[in-house]
Structure 1
Amino acid sequence: MQMISAEMQSCVENCLNCYETCIKTSMHHCLEAGGKHVAPQHFRLMSTCAEICRAAAAVMLIGTSHHRNLCRVCAEVCEDCGQDCERIGDMQECVEACRRCAETCRSMSA
């Protein structure tokens, strides 16, 4: 069994946390809050963020060098999602999860 580095393990954990946070926030907080929280562009961005995070974690766990490309895109999407959640407001947990994931994914894409 191939072990992954501590840095990659941290990134996997941040990706999975961001996935979980975006899903829970969008399906519970955003749907219940309504208004700008469920604007199509925002809601799609949160779903995209969740799915790219899940995919990035999976590719890192698989152990292929293609994780660099996926992590680069994941960092970009997480950055966009975090900014949009901050713009809308009352979504600090999501903002923080997106920022942590973006930071570690950037390092994995280098």
Structure 2
Amino acid sequence: MQTQVMENNSKGKGHVPTKMDQCIQNCLNCFRVCEQTLAEALYGNSQNFSQALILIKSCAEICHTSAKFMMMNSAFHVDTCGICAKVCIECADTCESLGDENLRECIEACRACAKSCNEMSKMSH
């Protein structure tokens, strides 16, 4: 519900530039996929890898935070996006190393988010 409200807010008054809008969407998608992956793992639908689960949860949280900072047009989005890109890359690499096909969507969402957040992190304050 909160994600839907934020998605709607990103299209309203004071619309953000296209690259930023895409980055917001990639962050929100990565947040959603990481949360779903975590929920599936906790309910026994996937192998239980505690360190990977902690990383997936961390990734979901920083993606959510980065999206919110961009939607608020905060000058600090440059910083949150830089951290987000690093966490997403680590999460994707860790999930990929597990060799579990159930993690494919999470890996892809993390890589897309890392790429766009890396671009946003290079903007000036």
Deviation at 1:39, TM superposition (A): 2.5
Question: Residue 21 of structure 1 aligns with which residue?
Answer: 33
Mark the runs of 5 or more structure 1 residues left unpaired by the alignment: none
- What is the SS of the residue equivalent to 1:10? helix
Question: TM-score, structure 1 length as denominator?
Answer: 0.92
Question: Residue 54 of structure 1 aligns with which residue?
Answer: 64
Question: Residue 81 of structure 1 aligns with which residue?
Answer: 91
**What is the rounded CA distance, in whole Å, between the counterparts of 2:71 and 2:52 in structure 1?**
29
Percent of aligned pairs with the same residue? Answer: 37
Deviations 1:6-40 (A, max 9, x none): 00000000000000000001111x23245xx4222
Deviations 1:33-55 (A, max 9, x none): 45xx4222111100000000000
More helix by share: 1
- What is the SS of the residue equivalent to 1:38? coil
Question: TM-score, structure 2 length as denominator?
Answer: 0.81
Question: Residue 12 of structure 1 aligns with which residue?
Answer: 24
What number of residue pairs does the alignment pair up? Answer: 107
Runs of 4+ aligned structure 1 residues displaced above 4 Å come to none
Deviations 1:64-104 (A, max 9, x none): 11000000000000000001111112211110000000000
